[in-house]
Amino acid sequence: MSTTHRPRTRHVTLPATGYITPSQAAEVLGVSVHTLEKWRRPGYEGIGPRYRLHGRHVRYDPRDLLEWSESRVVA
Protein backbone atom coordinates (compact mmCIF):
# COMPACT_ATOMS: atom_id res chain seq x y z
CA MET A 1 0.00 0.00 0.00
CA SER A 2 1.56 3.28 -1.05
CA THR A 3 0.61 6.64 0.29
CA THR A 4 1.08 9.95 -1.37
CA HIS A 5 2.38 12.78 0.75
CA ARG A 6 1.10 16.21 -0.06
CA PRO A 7 2.80 19.37 1.15
CA ARG A 8 0.91 21.18 3.85
CA THR A 9 -1.01 24.14 2.56
CA ARG A 10 -1.42 27.17 4.74
CA HIS A 11 -4.71 28.99 4.53
CA VAL A 12 -4.34 32.56 5.68
CA THR A 13 -7.21 35.00 5.57
CA LEU A 14 -6.20 38.52 4.68
CA PRO A 15 -8.22 41.41 6.03
CA ALA A 16 -10.37 43.18 3.47
CA THR A 17 -9.07 46.58 4.57
CA GLY A 18 -6.38 47.97 6.80
CA TYR A 19 -2.82 47.07 7.55
CA ILE A 20 -1.32 44.03 9.23
CA THR A 21 1.50 43.51 11.71
CA PRO A 22 4.88 41.99 10.88
CA SER A 23 3.89 38.70 12.54
CA GLN A 24 0.76 38.50 10.39
CA ALA A 25 2.77 39.42 7.27
CA ALA A 26 5.34 36.74 8.09
CA GLU A 27 2.58 34.15 8.31
CA VAL A 28 1.11 35.26 4.97
CA LEU A 29 4.49 35.01 3.23
CA GLY A 30 5.68 31.89 5.04
CA VAL A 31 8.83 33.57 6.35
CA SER A 32 9.96 34.47 9.84
CA VAL A 33 9.46 37.83 11.51
CA HIS A 34 13.26 37.98 11.73
CA THR A 35 13.51 37.71 7.94
CA LEU A 36 11.10 40.62 7.52
CA GLU A 37 13.17 42.63 10.02
CA LYS A 38 16.33 41.88 8.04
CA TRP A 39 14.71 42.95 4.77
CA ARG A 40 13.89 46.35 6.35
CA ARG A 41 17.52 47.05 7.30
CA PRO A 42 19.72 49.47 5.38
CA GLY A 43 21.51 47.65 2.60
CA TYR A 44 18.56 45.33 1.95
CA GLU A 45 16.37 47.91 0.20
CA GLY A 46 14.21 46.44 -2.52
CA ILE A 47 14.50 42.84 -1.32
CA GLY A 48 11.39 42.58 0.81
CA PRO A 49 7.85 43.85 0.45
CA ARG A 50 6.92 47.49 0.97
CA TYR A 51 6.01 48.50 4.50
CA ARG A 52 4.76 51.55 6.35
CA LEU A 53 5.76 53.18 9.59
CA HIS A 54 2.87 54.31 11.75
CA GLY A 55 4.84 56.09 14.41
CA ARG A 56 7.30 53.41 15.50
CA HIS A 57 5.02 50.59 14.38
CA VAL A 58 5.73 48.70 11.17
CA ARG A 59 2.66 47.75 9.16
CA TYR A 60 2.12 45.98 5.84
CA ASP A 61 -0.64 46.41 3.31
CA PRO A 62 -1.86 42.92 2.34
CA ARG A 63 -2.11 44.03 -1.30
CA ASP A 64 1.60 44.92 -1.26
CA LEU A 65 2.44 41.47 0.12
CA LEU A 66 0.53 39.75 -2.68
CA GLU A 67 2.06 42.04 -5.32
CA TRP A 68 5.56 41.42 -3.95
CA SER A 69 4.97 37.66 -3.89
CA GLU A 70 3.66 37.65 -7.47
CA SER A 71 6.78 39.52 -8.58
CA ARG A 72 8.85 36.58 -7.29
CA VAL A 73 7.20 33.93 -9.49
CA VAL A 74 9.78 31.81 -11.31
CA ALA A 75 8.67 30.60 -14.70
Task: Give pLDDT, residue 22.
Answer: 98
Q: Of 57, 71, 74, give the one whose Cα is nearest residue 18.
A: 57
Per-residue pLDDT of the chain (75 residues), as tens digits, is 555 655 455 566 666 679 999 999 999 999 999 999 999 999 998 899 999 999 999 999 999 999 999 999 998
- The pTM score is 0.78
Task: Give pLDDT, residue 75.
Answer: 84
Angle of helix 22-29 relative to helix 62-70, nearest 10 degrees, comes to 30
Task: Give pLDDT, residue 10.
Answer: 57
